[in-house]
Structure 1
Amino acid sequence: MIKFVLMVNQQGQTRLSKYYEPVELSRRAALEAVAVRCCLSRSKHQSELDIMFNLDSVHIILDEMIQNGRIVETNKCRILAPLTAIDKMADG
């Protein structure tokens, strides 16, 4: 079960955090600090900078893939369908 999703920038600032179970704020800070240390030690080839500039899309994708901490969808076309619909509405 997925307990939380966390995205941080290269300076260690949290850009997105989504928890799928209740976690006390003090515990969240500790969990995020550990995750940040792991992320900041990654190579430059493991970074997905586009995510930081498209956070609305990230929220939609996560909502399509994960519900209540469980992966409910892995089909790429189904996951991206809401984004495709939004793009079509914006173009039309």
Structure 2
Amino acid sequence: MTHRYRIADDVAWVSQEDLDGGDAPTAYLARVPKGMPILLEGSGCVVWLALAEGGTLEEVTAAAAAMSGAGAEDISADVADLVDQLVVIGVVREE
């Protein structure tokens, strides 16, 4: 069975491009109403933006690769690790 991933329903977030368009991609997120704020910068933000569309790990990796210009095979292990961590802390849901 292939798992699909998506941002949890109780997470509020904004990316830096929505705020001031700085140099490095940045996302600020928190579980609401009482979650601790989380900052994802650089490649972590790219993976988060890929997760915003939802999908399988392969689809998320492909989207992150397309956004960053990296090869999917080069980033797949790092993407999988980050997605696993985001699931553990509850900001991403595995379905």
Q: Normalising by structure 2, what TM-score?
A: 0.32
Bigger helix fraction: 1
Q: Normalising by structure 1, what TM-score?
A: 0.33
